[in-house]
C-alpha cells in the first residue's frame, strides 16, 4: 500500500515548565540605531505577545526555555530571533530591516497557474479536514510561489506574516513561513515556520463551541502524544504504541535482476519479430518480470506487543527527553475514531488488524535520530520524523498553541 506521507510538525521551539518567570526585555531598532515604537513582538507557537513602547522598549515575562521571537512592523521585514532563557533575565536588541520595493524596477509577470498552486498549498498546509473547510487565508498575496519543473517540486515561502482565520477553532494564526515543499514524486510534504495564535472575537456561545473543538483537535495529536510521553502517561491518555516491522519482500528479486531480464526479453522479441509482446510463459515472460517489478520492496508486519515507555523514552537533560527506535512506531489513539472524511481518502489510511476498531492510527518513521522533545509536546527538530496516516492528514487547521491547556471539565464530559 502506498502511503501518503507528510513531515508534518512545524518548527515550534517549546519551553520547560518552571515555577519562576524571568524577564526578557530589549529595544526594537532599525539599522541606523533609531528606536521603533509600535512593533509587535510575538512568541512563536504561543498566545504570548507585546508591543514596543514609544522608546522602542518591550518586556516579556517567560519561564526558562528555548523561544523563537517574531517581530513585525509595517514597512519592515518580519524578523525571527531565537532566545534561550536559563536562570536569569535576558536583554536583547531586535534590529529590523526596511522593506523597500522600487516599483519602477519591478516587472510583474502574471502566473496563470498561481491560483492552482495556492489551492494546492492550502490543501497541503492548512489541510482537508472539516476544520480546514472553515479556514481562510486572509492575505494570499504574500505567498512567494515557485514550481521547479525539473525536480517536480512546489516551494512556497513568505517574508511577511501569512494570516489565517480559523473559524472552526477560533484562532487567527500569523505564520511566518520559512519553507514549504511538496515533492510530486515522493508525495512528501515538509514545512517549517513560526506561528503565533490570537483568539478571534465571538459570542459566549461561540467561544464554548470553540473550546470543545479545540479539545478535540488537541486530543490524539502529536502534541498530545509527546506531552503525555514526556509525563509517562501515554497509555493512560489513550495511546497504544506498537512496532511496524518492514522486511524485504522474498518474492521480489533485486532491481538489477529484474531489469536485466526485462532488457533480455525485450531485445529477444525485437530481434525475432520486430515488435514487443508481453507473453504468457508461466516461468519466464515479459509480463512475469513486469509484475515482479511492481511488487512492493518490503512487507510490513505489525508487532502488537506494547512498546514500553520506559524503554522508548530517555532523559537528555532535566528539560528535554528523547526517543530513538528502529522500524516504525505504530501509534493508535483509542479515545477517538477516524473521521469518515479521512477513512474515505484512498491511500492515506494505515492498515489495521481485523479485530481493531476504527481508531485513529498514525506511524512515525525516524529521519534524524534521536527525536528531542519538550514537556509541552514541542519537537526540537521538525525534520526528525516522517508522519503517515491520521497525523499526516491533520495540519494547521487542527493545531492549537503550545501553551494550550485542556479544560478538565470538558475532558471529563468527553469521557462520559
Q: Residue 416: its pLDDT value, please?
A: 52
CA atoms 257, 263, 266, 268: torsion sign: negative
Mean pLDDT of 332-348: 87
Mean pLDDT of 396-410: 87
pLDDT tens, residue by residue, 366-376: 999 999 998 88
Question: Looking at per-residue confidence, does 338 or 107 come out higher?
Answer: 338
Residue 51 reports pLDDT greater than 90 = yes
Q: How confident is the model at residue 283 (pLDDT cuts 50, 70, 90)?
A: low
pLDDT tens, residue by residue, 383-398: 899 999 999 999 999 9
Q: How confident is the model at residue 110 (pLDDT cuts 50, 70, 90)?
A: low
Q: How confident is the model at residue 280 (pLDDT cuts 50, 70, 90)?
A: low
Q: Residue 109: its pLDDT value, please?
A: 56
CA atoms 224, 336, 134, 386: torsion sign: positive
- Alpha-carbon gap, residue 291 to 189, rounded angstroms: 29
Structural domain boundaries of the chain?
253-294
H runs (alpha helix) in 21-176: 114-125
Residue 307 reports pLDDT greater than 60 = yes
Q: Residue 389: its pLDDT value, please?
A: 94
223: left (phi over 0), alpha (psi -120 to 50) or beta: alpha
Backbone angles phi, psi at 274, to 5 degrees: 80, 0
pLDDT tens, residue by residue, 147-201: 998 889 999 998 889 999 999 999 999 998 989 999 998 888 999 888 999 999 9
Q: Are 164 and 399 in contact (CB under 8 A)?
A: no
Question: Looking at per-residue confidence, does 250 or 224 come out higher?
Answer: 224
Could you give the dihedral angle defined by the CA atoms of residues 193, 194, 198 and 200, in that order, rounded to the nearest 10 degrees?
Answer: -10
DSSP state of 134: G
CA atoms within 13 A on the CB side of 400: 23
DSSP state of 235: T
Mean pLDDT of 286-304: 81
Let me know if 240 is exposed, middle or buried by CB neighbors in 10 A (0-12, 13-18, 19+).
middle
Q: Are 349 and 343 in contact (CB under 8 A)?
A: yes
Q: Are 278 and 265 in contact (CB under 8 A)?
A: no
Least confident of 106-115, 132-141, 212-221, 244-253: 106-115
pTM of the model: 0.78
Amino acid at each position: 500500500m502506498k502511503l501518503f506521507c507528510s513531515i508534518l510538525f512545524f518548527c515550534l521551539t517549546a519551553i520547560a515548565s518552571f515555577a519562576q518567570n524571568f524577564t526578557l526585555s530589549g529595544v526594537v531598532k532599525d539599522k541606523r540605531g533609531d528606536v521603533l515604537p509600535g512593533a509587535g513582538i510575538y512568541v512563536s507557537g504561543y498566545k504570548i505577545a507585546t508591543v514596543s513602547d514609544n522608546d522602542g522598549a518591550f518586556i516579556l515575562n517567560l519561564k526558562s526555555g528555548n523561544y523563537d521571537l517574531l517581530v513585525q512592523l509595517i514597512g519592515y521585514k518580519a524578523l525571527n530571533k531565537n532566545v534561550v532563557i536559563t536562570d536569569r533575565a535576558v536583554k536583547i536588541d531586535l534590529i529590523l530591516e526596511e522593506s523597500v520595493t522600487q516599483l519602477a524596477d519591478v516587472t510583474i509577470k502574471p502566473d496563470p497557474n498561481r491560483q492552482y498552486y495556492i489551492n494546492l498549498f492550502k490543501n497541503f498546509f492548512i489541510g482537508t479536514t472539516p476544520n480546514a473547510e472553515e479556514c481562510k487565508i486572509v492575505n494570499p498575496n504574500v505567498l512567494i510561489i515557485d514550481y521547479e519543473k525539473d525536480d517536480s517540486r512546489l516551494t512556497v515561502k513568505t517574508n511577511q506574516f501569512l494570516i489565517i482565520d480559523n473559524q472552526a477553532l477560533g484562532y487567527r494564526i500569523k505564520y511566518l513561513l520559512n519553507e514549504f515543499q511538496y515533492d510530486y514524486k515522493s508525495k512528501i510534504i515538509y514545512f517549517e515556520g513560526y506561528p503565533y495564535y490570537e483568539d478571534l472575537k465571538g459570542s459566549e456561545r461561540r467561544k464554548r463551541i470553540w473550546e470543545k473543538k479545540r479539545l478535540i483537535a488537541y486530543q490524539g495529536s502529536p502534541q498530545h502524544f509527546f506531552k503525555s510521553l514526556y509525563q509517562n502517561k501515554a497509555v493512560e491518555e489513550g495511546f497504544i504504541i506498537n512496532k511496524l516491522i518492514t522486511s524485504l519482500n522474498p518474492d521480489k528479486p533485486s532491481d538489477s535482476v529484474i531489469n536485466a531480464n526485462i532488457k533480455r526479453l525485450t531485445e529477444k522479441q525485437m530481434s525475432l519479430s520486430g515488435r514487443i509482446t508481453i507473453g504468457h510463459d508461466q516461468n519466464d515472460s515479459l509480463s512475469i518480470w513486469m509484475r515482479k517489478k511492481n511488487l512492493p520492496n518490503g512487507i510490513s508486519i505489525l508487532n502488537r506487543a506494547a512498546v514500553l515507555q520506559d524503554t522508548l523514552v530517555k532523559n537528555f537533560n532535566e528539560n528535554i527527553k528523547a526517543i530513538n527506535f528502529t522500524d516504525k512506531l505504530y501509534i493508535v489513539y483509542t479515545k477517538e475514531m477516524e473521521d469518515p472524511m479521512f477513512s474515505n481518502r484512498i491511500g492515506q489510511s494505515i492498515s489495521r488488524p481485523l479485530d481493531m476498531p476504527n481508531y485513529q492510527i498514525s506511524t512515525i518513521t525516524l529521519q534524524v535520530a534521536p527525536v528531542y522533545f519538550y514537556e509541552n509536546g514541542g519537537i526540537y527538530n521538525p525534520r526528525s520524523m516522517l508522519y503517515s496516516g491520521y497525523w499526516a492528514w491533520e495540519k494547521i487547521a487542527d493545531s492549537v498553541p503550545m501553551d494550550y491547556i485542556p479544560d478538565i471539565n470538558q475532558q471529563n464530559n468527553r469521557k462520559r
